[in-house]
């Protein structure tokens, strides 16, 4: 069954006993992350903090913190079942015979029906703040040495200024003040490439609290010209509905909880970080572009979705495990002798890859290693 929005997913978690709701007041500065870190390490449930200090907006965290929840989020009994469905797309070849042609048409229909759909309005714009104010959000400061509070589960939308192709990525945003954040896109990310191509300024929209497939798609290592919302639609089994932003020429998921609209200028950098990272160490402070808000919209009674980053096991590790399973068929297209792959949690899902191969000649492993290291998917 397609999950239309984060709230529908939360309801499924409730029914399965996978969501614990906390009514006592908890501080977004360090306290929420301390509790969540202990729960993550114990392979515990998703958490809904209903009464965060300093904000009227509840916090949802650890929603993907386990293989069972990650599979549920992507609509399958397990991730291999989801990968098998996605893998069918990689096997499309010129079919022979009527039956095979009909099967191929069915796969193409699934792809065609995955394209995002533009709608006139959506819940994400039920409340419009033309004077945006990040202070209303319970943004977490996770670790004592962090440079400040960080938005850690955003879907960041930009557009290629040449081709007009949409891109959705997940880049952390350090809150500087009520109307500005950092924009932590690394030089090799598609968002940064769009930024460089735009020249003086690029428009940006940030969606917080999207449906699970959309959130995952923003983390997926897709080729540059593929729309992440197409992948999300395929995983959901129905198109992602998109609405036009109020102040920038971009579309965002209609059922998101919170939308931040704004721009990034090429000639403005600001010190961002440090940030407690996956390895258990702080990534160093550095200069990054500044995101200026021009508008903020949200659902009535919004929920702030976030995550924390640190030593495994953590919620983000399971997003990484989803990529391991879902993108294995695509890796096999490039490296056909691959049999299976494991990105162990201890390797923080991209620092260690264990790969089995069907070996047929000496030093074949060296060839596979070189091929895999050079792929954007790893």
CA atoms of 342 and 276, how far apart (whole Å) = 25
Supply the pLDDT for residue 172. 96
DSSP label at residue 139? P
Contact 286, 271 (CB under 8 A): yes
Supply the pLDDT for residue 101. 45
User: Which residue is listed with tokens 């390895």?
Assistant: 279
Distance from first CA to last CA of the chain, Å, rounded? 30
Supply the pLDDT for residue 100. 52
Residue 18 pLDDT more than 90?
A: yes
CATH architecture of 117-305: Roll (2.30)
**What are 234-244's pLDDT values in tens digits?**
898 899 999 99
Region 139-150: what's the mean pLDDT?
98
Q: What's the chain's average pLDDT?
A: 90
CA atoms of 97 and 338, how far apart (whole Å) = 30
Percent of the chain with pLDDT over 70: 92
> Which two structure tokens, joined as six digits, stand for 192?
């940064």
Contact 245, 295 (CB under 8 A): yes
**What are 68-116's pLDDT values in tens digits?**
999 999 987 788 888 887 776 655 444 445 445 445 445 545 566 789 9
**What are 202-236's pLDDT values in tens digits?**
999 999 999 999 999 999 888 888 899 999 998 98
* Domains of the chain by residue range: 117-305, 327-373
Of residues 56, 110, 277, 287, which has the active-site annotation?
277
Region 341-356: what's the mean pLDDT?
86
CA atoms of 349 and 344, how far apart (whole Å) = 6
Catalytic site includes residue 286: no
Domain at 327-373, CATH class: alpha beta
Query: pTM of the full predicted structure?
Result: 0.91
CA atoms of 276 and 141, how far apart (whole Å) = 10
Burial of 12 (0-12, 13-18, 19+ CB in 10 A): middle
Ramachandran region, residue 33 (left: φ > 0; alpha: ψ -120 to 50; beta: rest): alpha
CA distances to 78, 199, 265 from 270, rounded to whole Å, are 42, 18, 11
């Amino acid at each position: 069954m397609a999950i239309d929005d984060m709230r529908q997913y939360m309801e499924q978690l409730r029914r399965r006993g996978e969501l614990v709701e906390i009514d006592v007041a908890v501080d977004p500065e360090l306290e929420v992350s301390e509790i969540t870190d202990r729960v993550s390490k114990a392979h515990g449930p998703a958490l809904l903090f209903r009464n965060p200090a300093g904000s009227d907006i509840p916090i949802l965290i650890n929603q993907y913190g386990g293989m069972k929840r990650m599979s549920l989020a992507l609509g399958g009994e397990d991730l291999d079942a989801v990968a098998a469905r996605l893998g069918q797309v990689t096997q499309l070849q010129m079919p022979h015979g009527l039956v095979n042609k009909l099967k191929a048409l069915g796969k193409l229909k699934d792809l065609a029906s995955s394209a995002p759909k533009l709608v006139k309005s959506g819940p994400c714009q039920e409340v419009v703040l033309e004077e945006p104010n990040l202070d209303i959000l319970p943004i977490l400061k996770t670790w004592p040495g962090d440079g400040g509070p960080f938005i850690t589960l955003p879907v960041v939308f930009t557009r290629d200024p040449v081709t007009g192709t949409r891109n959705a990525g997940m880049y952390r945003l350090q809150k500087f003040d009520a109307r500005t954040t950092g924009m932590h896109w690394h030089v090799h990310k598609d968002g940064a490439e769009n930024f460089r191509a735009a020249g003086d300024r690029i428009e940006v929209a940030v969606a917080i609290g999207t449906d699970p497939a959309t959130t995952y798609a923003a983390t997926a290592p897709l080729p540059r010209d593929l729309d992440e919302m197409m992948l999300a639609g395929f995983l959901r089994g129905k198109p992602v509905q998109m609405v036009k932003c109020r102040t920038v020429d971009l579309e965002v998921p209609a059922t998101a909880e919170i939308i931040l609209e704004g721009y990034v200028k090429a000639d403005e950098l600001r010190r961002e970080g440090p940030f407690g990272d996956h390895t258990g160490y702080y990534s160093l402070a550095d200069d990054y572009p500044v995101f200026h808000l021009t508008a903020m919209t949200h659902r009535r009674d919004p929920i702030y979705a976030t995550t924390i980053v640190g030593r495994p096991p953590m919620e983000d590790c399971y997003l990484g495990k989803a990529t391991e399973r879902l993108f294995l068929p695509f890796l096999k297209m490039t490296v056909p002798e691959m049999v299976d792959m494991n990105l162990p949690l201890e390797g923080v899902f991209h620092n260690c890859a264990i790969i089995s191969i069907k070996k047929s000649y000496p030093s074949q492993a060296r060839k596979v290693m070189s091929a895999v290291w050079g792929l954007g998917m790893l």
